[in-house]
Amino acid sequence: MYYEIAASINMSEFGTQTATIKIWQKTPYLKEQITGITVGNTTTISVIQRPEGTYTYDTAQGKYVLTTNVTSLVTSLQYLDSKMIKNYLNNQTLTNLETETIDGKKATIIQYTPLQGENLMTIKLWIWNEKGVPLKAFFTMTMEKTTMTMDFKFSNYSFSDIPDSTFSVS
């Protein structure tokens, strides 16, 4: 599956950042290309997650390198994993689920608060009823004295097969 996310991240101490994220997903692989704009500077980060670890493209070396330093935006996307969403929905006794139509697609709205130790996080998702994938997501997180909100809009879904070479790190 392929899709794109338009993201807006607002941190109380640092202002707003915007990003466009392209995602290629084929179990067990995930590739993300994140183009972000902060204070007028544009940066692009490419990340490939494989069973043996996470690789980030190092422009200086001209290749993907195994890394332990994963950006917070990439980490945030773990809360949008379709299996996690399905498990969450199946294990809840939610009754008054709201629905909304986004770009002609009927979506069910769910909201939850995953346990994050000291950090308080709330996630609100608009799940496309027909395909079971997010159309919109809104995160609110408080860490010590900083409040962060992340607003994601999902688009350009393609459910065609993706070649394995897309996830090559060599």
Contact, 109 vs 100, CB < 8 A? Answer: yes
**38 in any annotated domain:** yes
* Residue range 50-65: mean pLDDT, rounded: 92
Please tell me the distance from the alpha carbon of residue 34 to that of residue 5, in angstroms, as a whole number: 9
- Residue length, the chain? 170
Share the mean pLDDT of the chain: 84
Residue numbers of the domain that contains 126? 2-161
Q: Structural domain tally of the chain?
A: 1
Per-residue pLDDT at 91: 55
Per-residue pLDDT at 48: 93
Percentage of the chain beyond pLDDT 90 is: 48
Contact, 151 vs 8, CB < 8 A? Answer: yes
Does residue 23 carry a pLDDT above 80?
yes
CATH number assigned to the domain comprising residue 130: 2.50.20
Per-residue pLDDT at 136: 95
**91 in any annotated domain:** yes
pLDDT digits (tens, 9 = 90+) for 102-112: 999 999 998 87
**166 in any annotated domain:** no
* Residue range 44-49: mean pLDDT, rounded: 92
Instruction: Find tokens 């608060």 and name the residue.
Output: 113
Per-residue pLDDT at 98: 87
Neighbours of 150 (CB within 10 A): 23
**168 in any annotated domain:** no
Per-residue pLDDT at 96: 57
**97 in any annotated domain:** yes
Contact, 53 vs 32, CB < 8 A? Answer: no
Per-residue pLDDT at 78: 57
Beta bridge partners of 46: 33
Contacts of 95 (CB under 8 A, 6+ apart): none
Per-residue pLDDT at 63: 95
**167 in any annotated domain:** no
**170 in any annotated domain:** no
Beta bridge partners of 67: 54
150-64-83-160 Cα dihedral, nearest 10 degrees? 100
**129 in any annotated domain:** yes
